[in-house]
Amino acid sequence: MALNVKQRKHLKALAHHRKPVVQVGNAGITAAVIKEIEVALGHHELLKIRLPGAAREARTEMLKKICAATGADAVQEIGRMAVIYCPAEKPRLKLPE
Domain ranges of the chain: 5-85
Digitized pLDDT (tens) for each residue of the chain, 97 residues in all: 688 999 999 999 999 999 999 999 988 899 999 999 999 999 999 999 999 988 999 999 999 999 999 999 999 999 999 999 999 888 888 888 8
The CATH classification number of 5-85 equals: 3.30.110.60
The H-or-E segment that residue 74 falls in is: strand 73-78
Q: Say how far residue 97 (Cα) sits from the centre of its chain.
A: 21
